[in-house]
A and B are shown apart, each in its own frame.
Chain A
Amino acid sequence: MKFGQAMKMAFKSISGSKVRSFLTMLGIIIGVASVMTIVSIMMGMTKQSLAYYEKAGSNRLEVYAYLYNGNSVFNDLYDYCLYMGDYVQGVTPAGNLSATVVYGDKNSSSMDNPPQMYLGSDQYSIVNNFQIAHGRDLSKIDVDNYSNVCVMGARAAQNFFDFTDPVGKEVLVNGLPFTVIGVYMEKDPNNDYSMDNIILFPYTAARNLGQIVDMSQVYVKCRDSNSVKQAKAMIEGFLTGICGDPNDYTNQKGYFYTYSDDQWQESMNEQAAMMSLVLGGIAGISLLVGGIGIMNIMLVTVTERTREIGIRRAIGAQRRSIVTQFLIEAGTICGIGGIFGVLLGTILTLIGGKLLLGGMILWPSLGITLGAVLFSVVLGVIFGLYPAIKASGLQPVVALRAE
């Protein structure tokens, strides 16, 4: 029998037993779609939480250092970090200002979500991953001159100025006029407690407001994760020179410690590894359930199919013709099932991303999709071929008698 004939016969057989074909497809559709959806949504969740920290700024080194005599080490550290230009992109103190900001009838203390007020250096935006939308960023001169200026995050600017341009406007900070010199680009939309709801002041300006700022906490932004390790080692060496050995309790000069996002990332990676184990388990179980469905329907029809094979053999079909027909039949059913499974899985993943992950446009992962389809199709073909291989090897009369 020619291959084209085997193909026609397979298609006839599929359309001739629609329920059987449909149930087999259903097993594959459900298996593929559920694995795709579950794994993709969980991957999306992991990705989303990683993206959040990426936006907040990654490859950061947190340094905490002070001298017992009360002098700040920040300026020395700032200069030292400039000298480490290869590894370090920026350095800023991490200070909070507690103040009331007023513009017209807008008052920060009466807002539902009052802005966070930060004291930083001219490199604050580099360290915290902000970009200027318009106006200008803080400069070294603002810092050196104790300028009464501030830069607003997109959300804070919107809260104070609605949609008018804040650049050049004056706001009152504890009654003292400060000029808004720039606005940062929005980087965290759709979030009430947004990272964009901030106002940044040069850390030196705190003195104008009569506040003493704790400058012991410093953020250092490094070029990449490798630079973080280098910078950490160098800064620790440098600070040991200024503050003394932090592990030596007889040290009378000062104290410091450093903490890198790396450490956080390591535990994040561990979590991710755990997650993929759990995911693998869930995917495995889903596929197993789908696979059992496929096996069931295929095995339930073995008797019927064995008789059919007996009839075909009796009227002159060669063993090869029967195996070819069944292979095409199983391959087609499983292939169609796989395609519908991928379609359904993609739709469910998109819906899941929309509903569960805050409107995220989530596409299913290619690897998982391919894996699920491959597994289901191979399983379907094996169990579809099983009666053909078994029954076509029997004497036709034995196959005919199957009950």
Chain B
Amino acid sequence: MLIDIQDVYKIYGEGTEAEVRALDGVTLSIERGEFVAVVGQSGSGKSTLMNILGCLDVPTRGTYLIDGQDVDELTDAQLSHIRNKQIGFIFQSYNLIQGLNAYENVELPLIYQNVPIFRRKDLVMEAMERVGIADRWKHRPSEMSGGQQQRVAIARAIATKPPIIMADEPTGALDSHTGKEVLYFLQELNKEGSTVILITHDNSIAATARRVVRISDGKIIEDREQEVDWL
């Protein structure tokens, strides 16, 4: 089991009147190689779930095993290592560093991995060519369109060849055509063996995934397999 969370809660302001249960007893297992869409309305807790799965946040209660390791017991260095090597993130707002150009943004996770410079260049260019953005390597994020920025973000996510890709509303800020391209990449990556977790509020986007987990008010209300809408 690659990802295994048991009875996980994320509660803000616990015990106060303004208590918010972003996750309210979630149990979920994801196998290696799955393509899972987590679907829910805004405020349903789907992003909170992704943040916890991606080790960007910690649950208030409950256990999370990633590759059999209990996340609760890991040090900062070990968690950083997991985020760096195991997971590639794609965000709705791209989250590129404004002061760095496309190449440098893609290079960043490899630097934190201590990949030597000659090897780094190959990996960066490979990832950028993969998403068709290699000719823009010198451009700053502010000099690129949303679609181009998201491609850079995807290149950054896949440059380290992580086994897990997590995408939080990756098409949210894109037009439908570019959005489709992004989803196509995710399907391709999944075909090559990556585990993909896609967070979305849009059922038509969720249709690209084999498995759909529907979440509402912090609880999983549906978890089913479906026919994939191949792009």
Mark A residues whose CB is within 8 Å of B: 1-2, 5, 9, 12-13, 16-17, 304, 307-308, 310-321, 395-398, 400
CB closest chain-B residue, reference A308: B97
Contact present for A319 and B112 (CB under 8 Å)? no
Cα of A310 to Cα of B57 in the assembled complex, Å = 11
22 CB < 8 A contacts A-B: A1-B112, A1-B114, A5-B111, A12-B100, A12-B104, A16-B98, A17-B98, A304-B98, A313-B83, A315-B83, A315-B108, A315-B109, A315-B156, A317-B112, A319-B76, A321-B112, A395-B56, A395-B58, A397-B51, A397-B56, A397-B57, A400-B91
B89 close to chain A: CB less than 8 A: yes
Cα of A297 to Cα of B74 in the assembled complex, Å = 36
B63 close to chain A: CB less than 8 A: no
Given contacts A311-B97, A315-B108, A317-B84, 15 further A-B contacts (CB under 8 A): A1-B111, A12-B104, A13-B99, A13-B100, A16-B100, A307-B95, A311-B95, A311-B96, A314-B95, A315-B84, A316-B109, A319-B76, A395-B56, A395-B57, A397-B51
How extensive is the interface on chain B, given as a class? 20 to 34
Which residues on A sit within 8 Å (CB–CB) of B61?
none
Which residues on B sit within 8 Å (CB–CB) of A317?
80, 84, 112
Instruction: Determine how close the nearest CB of chain A comes to the CB of B55; give it in whole angstroms.
Output: 8
Across chains A and B, the number of contacting residue pairs, with CB separation under 8 Å, is: 79
Cα of A324 to Cα of B191 in the assembled complex, Å = 39
B130 close to chain A: CB less than 8 A: no
Against A, the Cβ 8 Å flags (1 = close, 0 = not) of B77-100 are 100110111000101000111111
CB closest chain-B residue, reference A1: B112
Against A, the Cβ 8 Å flags (1 = close, 0 = not) of B42-67 are 00000000010011111000000000
Q: Determine which of A307, A315, A397 lies in contact with B112 in the assembled complex, contact meaning CB atoms within 8 Å.
A: A315
Instruction: Determine how close the nearest CB of chain B comes to the CB of A209; give it in whole angstroms.
Output: 87
CB closest chain-A residue, reference B83: A316
Cα of A55 to Cα of B100 in the assembled complex, Å = 63
Query: Of residues B91, B111, B156, which shows the largest number of chain A Cβ atoms within 10 Å of its Cβ?
Result: B111
Instruction: Determine how close the nearest CB of chain B comes to the CB of A364; give it in whole angstroms.
Output: 35
Q: Determine which of A318, A396, A400 lies in contact with B77 in the assembled complex, contact meaning CB atoms within 8 Å.
A: A318
Contact present for B51 and A315 (CB under 8 Å)? no
Cα of A319 to Cα of B78 in the assembled complex, Å = 11
